[in-house]
Structure 1
Amino acid sequence: MFDVLIIGGGNAALCAALMAREAGASVLLLESAPRAWRGGNSQHTRNLRCMHDAPQDVLVEAYLEEEYWQDLLRVTGGQTDEALARLVIRASGTCRDWMRRHGVHFQPSLSGALHTARTNAFFMGGGKALVNAYYRSAEKLGVVMRYDSAVERLELQDGRFVAAQLAGGERISARSCVLAAGGFESNREWLRSAWGQNDQGDWPADNFLIRGTRFNQGVLLKFMQQAGADMVGDPSQSHCVAIDARAPLYDGGICTRVDCVSLGIMLNRNAERFYDEGEDFWPKRYAIWGRLVAQQPQQIGYSIIDSKAIGRFMPPVFPGNKADTLPELARQLGLDEARFVDTIQRYNAACQAGQFDHTVLDNCHTKDLTPPKSHWALPLDTPPYYGYALRPGITFTYLGLKTNADAAVHFAGQPSPNLFVAGEMMAGNVLGKGYVAGIGMAIGTAFGRIAGSRAAQAAAAAAKGI
């Protein structure tokens, strides 16, 4: 019998496995994906949001706990557990040395990644390199790993973990267990149920693309919900980004993002604006646009820019539609020409002259326009013009298991003595809604490490009959 069973194969699961093994526990990790697709959504990440009180290696200036907390509070609208959120924030300031010991390397913020040099530490080689480094370290330490090993259900007794049952019927017992198997973003039927039908009788979730892994079906999350575990979060809330409509159904990752929204305007299928494109810095707002687009007709939006924006954002993988006139661009996008041109002309007329600076909350804004554009409002008047069709891209869902500072799963308000949770399966404790770049990896790293340590302690106590 293993001391600790880890269910999942992404960042949170690997952090838990490494911490449990470092504490002396024998560890078995079960990854539902084949080896080639291991790592869950973590393989698509690229950075970690870090608190620091002075310049540190790849991070410039300072990013103090209170500013980090205020950034999170703002994007979640207060829908967050402050104690757990601050735990994550503080842990983000001390985890990088441990990560380096397990082979993770960092690099300075990319030149096209605006405003993140102070707040986010980027992984050299991206999330795939981080995942591979952790797997190599875990193998060296003696963590046993199995791929293609999807867990279907758990055997529980009065809130205590007893064993896991694989889809093929195999039963695996352990002295303690960490659940880190992700959300349900790849389960189309669950997404449909969570989002329901809109007023037009459509099912918005049918038009969602999945930025992350196809293996996050939410099987264990659903089992735990039905088993009476305490839950947290709204099933319709998620990390949802507006991504290129030509992106693949699964595993598009970072490269499907289109980051020019704040430099132009966003239109819906009716060629109408529907939200303030310049509300705040892009890393604090990029993850609201998927949900906004999901609420529009046919779940599609169109980011429109002119040539002044070129070179001011990370170039997308797929080129946009390009035209020398606005009517021509409207025709290419399949939008009503007259309405398209009228919307842009009204926006142009509302733009107030100011000092444009995309690195600050500048004074370029609109006047007497609904919705307003609060910053970076420049007229779209310099051809060629560009348009990008965007769809909602779900990264991970926020419905999860309620937990505490020990990462314990709760039943009827009581923490389990040997069942713990980390990563997407509990992120909803910190993220009730909204997102700020890099917080997902911070949550997974903090709670993965806590869960692994606590699981090792629980296993040691069980081995002694305590």
Structure 2
Amino acid sequence: MTDSFDIAVIGGGNAALCAAITAAEAGARVLILEAAPKPYRGGNSRHTRNFRCMHSRPLGPLTDSYSEQEYFDDLIKVTGGKTNENLARLAIRGSEECLPWMEERGVRFQPSLSGTLSLSRTNAFFLGGGKGLVNAYYRTAAALGIEVRYEAPVTHLDVEDGKINGIEFTQNGTTHRVSPKAVVVASGGFQADTDWLARAWGPAAKNFLIRGTPYNRGVVLADLLEQGVEQVGDPTQCHAVAIDGRAPKFDGGIVTRLDCVPFSIVVNKDAERFYDEGEDVWPKRYAIWGRLVAAQPEQVGYVIIDAKSLELFMPSVFPPIKADTLEDLAGKLNLPADRLCATVEEFNAACGDTSAFHPTELDSVATSGLTPPKTNWARPITEAPFYGYTLRTGVTFTYLGLKVNENAQCSIGNRPMSNLWAAGETMAGSILGQGYLAGFGMTIGTVFGRIAGREAVAHAN
């Protein structure tokens, strides 16, 4: 296999496929090395729903317009300014031309979902979800003659003099080596290695759930970092959301996400509130709740709502825990009943006029004199039956990754490597210093996947 391929792409998700397709369309012989079995191909992209896209006028399923500056401002809000502005704007500007590119390669879109998402102007939703997108790209890859090796995890990249000389991977119990002209790494973060998470976070990480694929263990990332390839990002920063506590350890995906927080109060195991549940519209603030829950005792939180809020959000795959009284709900959630009732009573007393309540917009229906406050959607919890969910930290992907430049090129010793590029979650920390913006991971993967494919094939040629 030594000289069979111009380009090897490590990974099998959105970024990898965008890179592989771009390179193959330019005439390159491309190999994809996917660690997962074929039914589980696609990495975390299988679980995605949408793509955040800049546009100057209505585009495909997107309404109105969404400017570069508004997009960037939204990103700054969630990252607290911890971003590389040059790379962030590159991703944002590149997103507009990506949507028709995606459609031309078989991806189909649908109108935005109802509920608390409110994204018809900013995010294009995939028909069939992420699995539909992944399958469309694999069909395109097959038509282009791209070779895909499944259950073929990469174990080592041979780095010498600023260049990748060869790639070792295993398949069917045998070690293989390939020496392509160019390499694109798109193999995700390290979140599925819970020992690595625990080294970064401490023992609390053992209680985290992993929303996506169990195959993103950071083997390639660790191998390259150990050989001096430049890194970016904080190992404790990640895309972490609060998900249903009944979700499986791995691969629960998008259906375990809970969108009910804005219409609830959230308490810890002592039945005490700990943060403003109404801080902002959910697509901009949902990603902070994973870290908030991680900081609570036993890394668990509890959502409390009443009957009038039950239909305002997209339900989880699991039904809520239901009780006719708060005392009974506390018992079912293993919370101290007296403290939960007191917390709800304090919250209810702090609520004021709710006539301006609007579930999909910031409505300023806020509490008064309560710490922490609830600054929007603050309605008393009074209408039986009452409902509860447990919350756990669900990690989507980690931000420690490979540092890249505007050409998606990796570097070593402050010098660009001659034949190594990176795209997707494995380099997203170059842009995401903290926090997350709904649909932005797919933007990064698509834009930088295409850039990496373009640059890799230019080198190979």
Q: Which TM class, normalised by the smaller chain length? A: over 0.9
38, 60, 70: which one pairs with 2:63?
Answer: 60
93, 103, 111: which one pairs with 1:90?
Answer: 93
Partner of 1:44: 47
- What amino acid sits opposite 2:234 in the alignment? D
> How do 1:349-388 residues align onto structure 2 when only pairs under 5 Å count?
349-354=349-354, 355-388=356-389
Q: Secondary structure at 1:70's aligned position in 2?
A: helix
Partner of 2:458: 457
Partner of 2:118: 115
Q: After superposing the two structures, state which structure 1 stretch, 368-377 or 350-359, moved more.
A: 350-359
Distance 2:309 2:397 in 1: 30
**C-alpha deviation, 1:417, in angstroms:** 1.6
**C-alpha deviation, 1:162, in angstroms:** 1.2
1:218 aligns with 2:218: yes
**C-alpha deviation, 1:113, in angstroms:** 4.8
**C-alpha deviation, 1:112, in angstroms:** 2.3
- Deviation by residue 1:87-137 (Cα, 9 ceiling, x = unmatched): 110111110111111110001101225211111000000000100010010
Q: Secondary structure at 2:179's aligned position in 1?
A: strand
Partner of 2:323: 323
- What amino acid sits opposite 1:449 in the alignment? R
Distance 1:420 1:406 in 2: 8
Contact 2:116 2:312 in 1 (8 A): no
**C-alpha deviation, 1:442, in angstroms:** 0.2
Q: Secondary structure at 1:301's aligned position in 2?
A: strand
Contact 2:116 2:359 in 1 (8 A): no
Partner of 1:305: 305
- What amino acid sits opposite 1:96 in the alignment? L
Distance 1:342 1:412 in 2: 58
- Deviation by residue 1:305-352 (Cα, 9 ceiling, x = unmatched): 111112111122111111111111111100001111111111111112
1:28 aligns with 2:31: yes
1:267 aligns with 2:270: no
Distance 1:352 1:77 in 2: 31
Distance 2:231 2:371 in 1: 38
- What amino acid sits opposite 2:181 in the alignment? R
TM-score normalised to structure 2 length: 0.97
Distance 2:345 2:229 in 1: 54
Q: Secondary structure at 1:94's aligned position in 2?
A: helix
Q: Secondary structure at 1:169's aligned position in 2?
A: strand
Distance 2:316 2:69 in 1: 33
1:398 aligns with 2:404: no
**C-alpha deviation, 1:451, in angstroms:** 0.2
Q: Secondary structure at 2:199's aligned position in 1?
A: helix
Q: Secondary structure at 1:380's aligned position in 2?
A: coil
- Deviation by residue 1:126-161 (Cα, 9 ceiling, x = unmatched): 000100010010010011110011001101111111
Distance 2:372 2:162 in 1: 50
**C-alpha deviation, 1:415, in angstroms:** 1.2
Distance 2:190 2:364 in 1: 41
Distance 2:220 2:61 in 1: 37
Distance 1:299 1:236 in 2: 15
Q: Secondary structure at 1:370's aligned position in 2?
A: coil
Distance 2:425 2:317 in 1: 27
**C-alpha deviation, 1:364, in angstroms:** 0.5
Partner of 1:135: 138
Contact 2:191 2:397 in 1 (8 A): yes
Partner of 1:17: 20
Alignment length (residue pairs): 454
Distance 1:368 1:417 in 2: 60
Partner of 1:187: 193
Distance 1:421 1:383 in 2: 52
Distance 2:98 2:250 in 1: 30
- Deviation by residue 1:49-90 (Cα, 9 ceiling, x = unmatched): 011112222111111110100000110001100000001101
Q: Give the 4+ runs in structure 1 shifted more than 2 A.
A: none
**C-alpha deviation, 1:171, in angstroms:** 1.1
Partner of 1:144: 147
- What amino acid sits opposite 2:452 in the alignment? A
Contact 2:239 2:436 in 1 (8 A): yes
Identical residues among aligned pairs (%): 57
1:106 aligns with 2:109: yes
Distance 1:30 1:261 in 2: 39
Q: After superposing the two structures, state which structure 1 stretch, 361-370 or 116-125, moved more.
A: 361-370
Distance 1:158 1:425 in 2: 22
Partner of 1:235: 235
Distance 2:116 2:55 in 1: 19
TM-score normalised to structure 1 length: 0.96
Distance 2:89 2:206 in 1: 36
Structure 2, unaligned runs of 5 or more:
none
**C-alpha deviation, 1:211, in angstroms:** 0.5
- What amino acid sits opposite 2:273 in the alignment? R
**C-alpha deviation, 1:459, in angstroms:** 0.6
Partner of 1:464: none
Distance 1:41 1:56 in 2: 26
Distance 2:17 2:116 in 1: 27
Distance 1:22 1:334 in 2: 57
Distance 1:437 1:336 in 2: 35
Distance 1:273 1:288 in 2: 15
- What amino acid sits opposite 1:183 in the alignment? G
Contact 2:116 2:259 in 1 (8 A): no
Distance 2:71 2:267 in 1: 31
Contact 2:213 2:251 in 1 (8 A): yes
Q: After superposing the two structures, state which structure 1 stretch, 310-319 or 74-83, moved more.
A: 310-319
